[in-house]
Chains A and B, each alone.
Chain A
Amino acid sequence: MEKLILKAIEHLEDLPTLPSVAIEMMSLSRSPDVSIRAVSECIHKDPPLAAKVLKMANSVFYRRGSQEIDTLHRAVLLMGLNEIINITTSVSVLSALGSRKAQETAIRKNFWDHCVATALIARRIDTRLRMNLQGREFVGGLLHDIGKIILDEYFHDQFMRSRELSAETDRPLFEAEEEILGTTHMEVGHFIAQKWGLPPYIIDVALYHHHPEQAQFKDICSVVSIADLLAKAREISCDVDIPPFVLKDQQGWHILKKMGHRMDLVDIERLTFEIEDIGREVKEYLSAVMDQDGGESTNG
């Protein structure tokens, strides 16, 4: 089948857009001599975004030490440029996609729960394996499924049918999507990430989180692929059926092993027990990032 739906998405006129500040931030991050001042001034151009970034910087997820971070300048100073760019990217994409219509439906709620859980678990894996992915594993986890949001938003009925078909036939969702939609959430995610000019590693994660061996950023994609499964094992997922899996048999696991990480020493049971309470962390993260007071207006 031709990629009709992918073509249709390319011509959609009301596709969500990223805040211009986010785009500017990402290009700033690629310039070699970026200054703290340039970054904080850039974020300041979007006051609601600036407020959210500060709020996140002070949340339990990023805060280090006891002192309140009261200016962006200080946030960049304390947290480093990478982390600030990660937060800005996350907050921007979440506000571009997170508060659109039908957000209250169970699927959307599970969708964001799953993305945040994947991000939090990816960060744990990064720490455990001392990979030093610098938060890219977190943003990658958060955004790996953005294609699903687009499919749910613009091709809702076909997307729902794909989910049902996947459950009925015990096949992966992307196979059912291919059959019904002629494309997959990975291809759609890849398209939108490119269109938004997101960093190459995010484009890679969107396309290859189920097939990390084909990825360019194999380390990030492998970590996200494992985190994705573990989030599903916690039943934090919008999939209808969650098939059992063996972590040690996964592509991502083999890749990390081949890269020299001592996977045989990983206590998988312990890792699994440690994320039993991940649902609570997910709620805390979402309530920090989904600003209840003025968040919705940024999208208007």
Chain B
Amino acid sequence: MADNLNTGRLQMTDETFRLLRDFIYEHSGIFFPDNKKPQLENRLSLRIKANNLPDFEKYYYMLKYDPQSPREIRALFDSVTTNETSFFRSPPQIQAFQEKALPEILQRKAGEGDKTLRLWSAGCSTGDEPYTLGMVALEVLGGAADGWDVKIFASDISEKALKSARAAVYNEYTLRSVPPEIKEKYFVPEDSQYRVCDDVRMLVEFQYMNFNDEKRVKLMQGLDVVFCRNVLIYFDDAARKRFVSQLYDNLNPGGYLFIGHSESLHNISRAFKLVHFPGALGYKKE
């Protein structure tokens, strides 16, 4: 205890770490391996301060037994997820989607007389990704956009991130990878910031979703493309396998899954065909 006072930083015992880790895993699928203990300490210490608690043990009991805990659990999710994102993040992936995957899907569906396009930004954080997908879809469809029924589902486990996503106002920094003509076309300057234009906002539907909620995830049927970037890193292998297998079922045949730039499904799923695009990988459901 003396150490805690000296460093001014709260520490958790190994026992409490395990209790909290298991609690978070059980409720969200997000897994903190032993080496991430300092990260968890760091992030949860803010929740402890906010709730005026003396230590991690008390916080655990609050989560577990307090009738107010559902509210706190959502705040907990806000603090254990990272919301690092930006528009047109990982340009080669967006380019693969824009120039190869999406035209291929649109051509096939148009041939089948099916003019619906369903995308899912799974783990959308502050909305940069689903809005990017909306802009790209409008660019690829061009004049034909009116004939198509385009919907982009966007979900996250952080309420805070979703709130900011719905507001759709961004600073210059998150727009750093946006090509100038796209910026001109789809953003409206607002004070020193930028708001996503209504044509794009109309396409995107935000919703709170916990990927551990299998029934909820199962409802996301008939998708053409899923972007699920830098989400799997939060899960352990069992949760990854479960979730990816569900994503496979959710996709239409011919649909694509894009995961984070340096993420891999090698030990997670053999169901997809791994497609090499210039500078990016995609996973196709045959």
Contact = CB atoms under 8 A, between A and B. Distances in A.
Interface of A: 229-230, 232-235, 242, 244-249, 267-270, 272-273
A235 B284 CA distance: 21
B169 to A, nearest CB: 34
Contacts of B264: 267, 269-270, 273
9 contacts: A232-B278, A244-B275, A245-B275, A247-B274, A247-B276, A248-B274, A269-B266, A272-B281, A273-B264
Contact of B266 (A232, A233, A267): A267
A109 to B, nearest CB: 18
B163 interface: no
A249 B274 CA distance: 10
Nearest to B280: A233
B96 A244 contact: yes
A233 B279 contact: yes
Interface residues of B, number: 16
Contact of A246 (B265, B266, B273): B273
Nearest to A271: B266
Contacts of B282: 244
Given A246-B273, A248-B274, A269 B279 contact: no
Interface in B69-128: 96, 100
Contact of A235 (B274, B275, B279): B279
Contacts of B274: 246-248, 268-269
B266 A242 contact: no
A242 B96 CA distance: 11
B206 interface: no
A67 B88 CA distance: 48
A234 B279 contact: yes
B46 to A, nearest CB: 34
Contacts of B276: 229-230, 233, 244-247, 272
Nearest to B264: A269
